[in-house]
Amino acid sequence: MRPLSSPAPQRVDPVCPTYTASFPARLCPMRRVTGGPHLAFFLCLCALLGAGQAANAQQPAPARGRATLVGTVVDSATGAPLSDVNVFIAESMRGTTTDDQGRFRLTGVPLGAQQLYVSFVGYKSASRSLNLREARPYRFEFALPETVLEGEGVVVEAERDEQWQRRFERFKSAFLGETPNAEQANIRNREVLSFDGGLGSLEAFAARPIVIENQALGYRVEYHLEDFKVTQRRTQYDGEPFFEELEGTPAQEAEWEKARREAFLGSFHHLMLAMIEDRVEEQGFKLFYRQNAPGSPPGSSSSGPPGSGGFGSGFSGGGRMSIEVGDIMTEGDGPDEHILDFQGAAEVIYLGEKQSEAYSAWREERTGRRGGRAPRYQTSQFWLERGPATVDYKGEVVERYGVTVSGYFGFERVADQVPKEYRPQ
C-alpha cells in the first residue's frame, strides 16, 4: 500500500475544482422512478449511508483550518497500553496506529463533523462523534474491552454450508452493489461474516473489519460494519470505512483516477457539496419536488417544501415541481452547518451522465418495468424519514440514517464509494 501523508492545507473549489457542467436547458422527458452514509434504500432501489461517505490524485477539503487529534488506547481491564491499534477518520484516507505506549497522533484533520474510529482485533471497537470547531490539538483516551471471537474453524465450516453461501451472495450484491465497479470489487476475508434472517430478510454481522479490494477504483477498504439489514423493500447498512490506495502502474493509476472521477460526479456527496455552494445547475443537477416520498400511501398529505405554500399550482405531470436549493436546505445554527428540512421527496436529475445499461437491467429486475429505448439522464430521489437532517460543510450527513435515497443514488453502493476528501482534479 502507498504510505499516506497529510496534505498541506490549500484553498480549492469545495465542489469540484476543474468541473463545470454545460448542458441543454431543456430536459428529456423522464418517467417517474417509483421504488423503494446516512441513507436508506427503498424497494432495493435505494441505500442507507452512515453518518457522515489523499495523496497525489486527490484534492483535500477546503482550507478552513486543521485540527490535531492525540491520545492513548489502553486495555479497559488492565490499563495496559495497546500498540498497533488502528485509529482513523471514518470514510477517509486519514489514519494512523498507536505506538508501543498506546499513543497516537493524527494531524491535518479538517474542522467540522468527523467520526474518530478505533479498532483492534480481539477488542471491541470504539468511536467518537466530533465537531471540531478550532484549529488546535484535541486529546482523547480510549479504554477498549476484550471480546471473544469465534474460532476460524467454525466460520470456515459455515462457508461450506449452502445457506451461508446463498446469504453471502445476497449480502455481497446488496452491500457492494451490482454496478460494473462492484464486479471488480472482492471481499478478501468473507470468513468474518455471519448471517441471520428469514422470510425474505437478511441481517449480516462481521467479527472483524471487512477487507474489500476494489480494482475498479484502486482502493483497499477496511469496512467496520455496524449494521446491515435487507428486507424485500429496503436495504440499510452503516459502518465506518477506511481507504488506502492500491499500488499500480502509471497506466493503472490513470484508469483509477478516471473511474474515481466518474464515481464522484453525480453522486449524493457531489450533490450535497453543490447545494451547499448553491451551484447545483453549474454542477449539472436539476432539483424537483415530489408530493409523496417513494412508497408513501397514495393521497398521503404533506406540507410541501419550505416556502412552497403547500400543493396546488406549480406541479407538472406526476406531481413534480422545479425547486431551488433554498426550498429544501437552510443554514444551520452552528458554523458551516446546513439543514435539510422538507416533506415529500426531492428528485434529482444529473445531466452529466446517462443511465447505464447495468442500471436499467437492475431496475427492471426489481420493478418488473422496462425502461424506454433511449438512455435517460441519471435520476434519483431522496427524502427524510426522521425529520430534519444536518449536513456539514464537507457534504456529510451527520445523523445516522438521516436521509433515505432511491433511484441511481441507491444503485451505487460501497463499490462506488470514494473517500470523503476526494475531489476530481
Write the pLDDT tens digit of every residue in 274-331. Answer: 999 999 999 999 999 987 766 443 333 333 344 333 323 333 445 789 999 999 999 9
Torsions phi, psi of 10, nearest 5?
-155, 155
pLDDT at 138: 96
Residue 248 pLDDT > 90, yes or no? Answer: yes
More confident of the two residues 63 and 163: 163
Q: Sketch out the chain's domains with CATH numbers.
A: 41-54+262-416 (no CATH), 66-144 (2.60.40.1120), 152-245 (no CATH)
Q: What is the pLDDT of residue 65?
A: 81
Mean pLDDT along residues 70-84? 95
CA 156 from centre of chain: 30
Burial 113-127 (b: 16+ CB within 10 A, else e): bbbbbbbbeebebbb
Give per-residue burial for 241-251: e unless 16+ CB within 10 Å, then b.
bbbbbbeeeee
CB 263 within 8 A of CB 418: yes
| Average pLDDT value over all residues in the chain | 79
Specify the pLDDT at position 403.
Answer: 94
Write the pLDDT tens digit of every residue in 89-103: 988 889 999 999 999
| Buried/exposed 328-356: b ≥16 CB within 10 Å, e otherwise | bbeebeeebbbebbbbbbbbbbbbbeebe
The grid coordinates listed for 280 are: 447545483
Predicted TM-score (pTM) of this structure = 0.74
| Torsion, Cα of 382, 386, 392, 394 (10° steps) | -40
3-state helix, strand, coil split of the chain in percent (to 5) is: 20, 30, 50
Residue 200's contacts (CB-CB under 8 Å, 6 or more residues apart) are 231, 232
Indicate if the pLDDT at residue 123 is higher than 80.
yes
Q: Which helix (H) or strand (E) holds 171?
A: helix 162-176
